[in-house]
C-alpha cells in the first residue's frame, strides 16, 4: 500500500517541525508548501538527509506549486504571519484571512479529500474561514488548539504534583488563548479530579488558579522568552497527534476547534470542544453538561470567537 501523503502548507517554524516529526514517526510522505522560494525545498532536503541516521522511510519535498499537494490525505496549515508590534487585531485578521483564501482554494482544487488541520492564528476564526474558502465537509476541517492548551496544562500540573505527565489528564474547552475554559473537575491525576486533589492537600486552590492562568497565557510566555517568534515544538507535536489519530483511525478523544451544530447549545460555529478523531475526521462532538460557572466562561469564549468571525465577514464580503 502506498504511503499516506501529508501536505504542510507553510514551511516556517511550525511547518519545519511538523515535517521532521512526520518523518521520524513515518506517518507518510511529506510535501512542504510555502510562498517563500527555497525554504520548503531546503527544509525538505535537510530532513531527508537526516533519514539514514534516524532510519525512516519517507519522501520529503518542497514546493511553491499547489499541484504538488494533489491527493494529500492530510493538510496541516500554518501559512500566515504572526502578530507584530504595532499591528492591530484587524490588521492581522485581514492579512491571514487573505492567506486562508488562497490556501483554502488550493486545497479545494488539489486535495479535496484531505483531513485539514489549521494552526494559523487567530485560530478559531481562521479555521472557520479556511472551511468556508475550501468548501470541504465540516468534519474534515478542524483547528489545533485544545491539544496544545491541555498539554501545557498537563505539564504544569505534573510539575506541581511531581507525577508523570502521562498520568495527568486535562480537559479544556472554548477558544484558543485568553478565553480558554479549563474544566478542572474533568481534569485528573490517574482519574482523581483536581478539586479532590485540592481537598486531599496535594495543592491549594490558589496554586491551581495560578496554573490555569499560566496555561491561558502559555503562548505569550513563550513569545516573551523567544522574543523573535512564537512556540513551535509543542504546537507541531499537538497537530501531529491529531493527524496520527486520523491516519491510523485511532478514535482518539482530543479537544480541538471543530464545527459544532447542535451540541453544547451551539448553532453552526467553530470552537474548542472535546471530539473523537478517526478515519472519518471529526467523528463525534462530545456534548458535555456544564455547571453554571463553566457555562458562563464558555459563553464568553464563544462570544469572543463570534466577534472574530463577524470581523472576518466585515473584511471579506464573500463570507456570509
Question: Per rule CB under 6 A, is residue 63 in the interface with ligand APR?
Answer: no
The whole-angstrom separation of Cα 219 and Cα 198 is 26
For residue 218, give the nearest of 180, 270, 189 by alpha carbon: 180
User: Residue 207 CB, nearest distance to ligand APR (Å)?
Assistant: 28
Question: Per rule CB under 6 A, is residue 121 in the interface with ligand APR?
Answer: yes
CB distance 100 to 318 below 8 Å: no
What grid cell was written down for 8? 504542510
17 is in an annotated binding site: no
For the sheet with 29-33, list strands across it: 60-63, 29-33, 5-9, 74-77, 115-118, 141-143, 252-260, 269-278, 281-285
Query: Around Cβ 50, how many Cβ atoms within 10 Å?
Result: 14
Question: Per rule CB under 6 A, is residue 11 in the interface with ligand APR?
Answer: yes
The whole-angstrom separation of Cα 192 and Cα 201 is 13
178 is in an annotated binding site: no
Question: Per rule CB under 6 A, is residue 104 in the interface with ligand APR?
Answer: no
The SS3 call for residue 75 is strand
Phi, psi dihedral angles at 200 (to 5 degrees) = -80, -5
120 is in an annotated binding site: yes
User: Residue 103 CB, nearest distance to ligand APR (Å)?
Assistant: 6
Residue 20 falls in the annotated catalytic set: no
Pick one of 3, 41, 51, 82: the residue that binds ligand APR (CB under 6 A).
82
Question: Per rule CB under 6 A, is residue 78 in the interface with ligand APR?
Answer: yes
Nearer to ligand APR (CB atom), residue 13 or residue 275: 13
Stretch that binds ligand APR, among 199-207, 210-218, 227-235, 275-283 (CB under 6 A): 227-235
Question: Per rule CB under 6 A, is residue 237 in the interface with ligand APR?
Answer: no
Question: Per rule CB under 6 A, is residue 10 in the interface with ligand APR?
Answer: yes
Nearer to ligand APR (CB atom), residue 79 or residue 168: 79
Question: Per rule CB under 6 A, is residue 174 in the interface with ligand APR?
Answer: no
Nearer to ligand APR (CB atom), residue 50 or residue 102: 102
Query: Which residues are bridge partners to 274 per DSSP?
Result: 255
User: Residue 178 CB, nearest distance to ligand APR (Å)?
Assistant: 14
Stretch that binds ligand APR, among 118-126, 130-138, 282-290, 303-311 (CB under 6 A): 118-126
What grid cell was written down for 103? 490556501
Nearer to ligand APR (CB atom), residue 36 or residue 213: 36
The whole-angstrom separation of Cα 158 and Cα 151 is 10
- H helix runs in the chain, sequence order: 13-24, 39-48, 51-54, 89-110, 123-134, 146-161, 194-199, 205-216, 218-226, 233-247, 292-315
Supply the residues annotated as catalytic: 176
For the annotated binding site for NAD(+), the residues are 10-15, 34, 96, 119-121
Please give the residue ranges that form the binding site for ligand APR (CB under 6 A). Answer: 9-15, 34-36, 39, 78-80, 82, 99, 102-103, 119-121, 229-230, 232, 235
Amino acid at each position: 500500500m502506498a504511503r499516506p501523503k501529508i501536505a504542510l502548507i507553510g514551511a516556517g517554524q511550525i511547518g519545519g517541525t511538523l515535517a521532521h516529526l512526520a518523518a521520524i514517526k513515518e506517518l507518510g510522505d511529506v510535501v512542504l508548501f510555502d510562498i517563500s522560494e527555497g525554504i520548503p525545498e531546503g527544509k525538505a532536503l535537510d530532513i531527508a538527509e537526516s533519514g539514514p541516521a534516524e532510519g525512516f522511510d519517507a519522501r520529503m519535498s518542497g514546493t511553491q506549486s499547489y499541484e504538488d499537494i494533489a491527493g494529500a490525505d492530510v493538510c496541516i496549515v500554518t501559512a500566515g504571519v504572526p502578530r507584530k508590534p504595532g499591528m492591530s487585531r484587524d490588521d492581522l485578521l485581514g492579512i491571514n484571512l487573505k492567506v486562508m483564501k488562497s490556501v483554502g482554494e488550493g486545497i479545494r482544487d488539489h486535495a479535496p479529500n484531505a483531513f485539514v488541520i489549521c494552526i494559523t492564528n487567530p485560530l478559531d476564526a481562521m479555521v472557520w474561514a479556511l472551511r468556508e474558502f475550501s468548501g470541504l465537509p465540516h468534519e474534515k476541517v478542524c483547528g489545533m488548539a485544545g491539544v496544545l492548551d491541555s498539554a501545557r496544562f498537563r505539564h504544569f500540573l505534573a510539575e506541581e504534583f511531581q507525577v508523570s505527565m502521562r498520568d495527568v489528564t486535562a480537559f479544556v474547552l472554548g477558544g484558543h488563548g485568553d478565553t480558554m475554559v479549563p474544566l478542572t473537575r474533568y481534569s485528573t491525576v490517574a482519574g482523581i479530579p483536581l478539586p479532590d486533589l485540592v481537598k486531599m492537600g496535594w495543592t491549594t486552590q490558589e496554586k491551581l488558579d495560578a496554573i490555569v492562568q499560566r496555561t491561558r497565557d502559555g503562548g505569550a510566555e513563550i513569545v516573551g522568552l523567544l522574543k523573535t517568534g512564537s512556540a513551535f515544538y509543542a504546537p507541531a507535536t499537538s497537530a501531529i497527534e491529531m493527524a496520527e489519530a486520523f491516519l491510523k483511525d485511532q478514535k482518539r478523544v482530543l479537544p480541538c476547534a471543530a464545527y459544532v451544530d447542535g451540541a453544547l447549545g451551539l448553532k453552526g460555529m467553530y470552537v474548542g470542544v472535546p471530539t473523537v478523531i478517526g478515519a472519518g475526521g471529526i467523528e463525534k462532538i462530545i456534548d458535555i453538561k456544564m455547571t453554571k460557572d463553566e457555562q458562563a466562561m464558555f459563553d464568553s469564549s464563544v462570544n469572543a470567537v463570534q466577534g472574530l468571525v463577524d470581523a472576518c465577514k466585515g473584511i471579506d464580503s464573500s463570507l456570509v
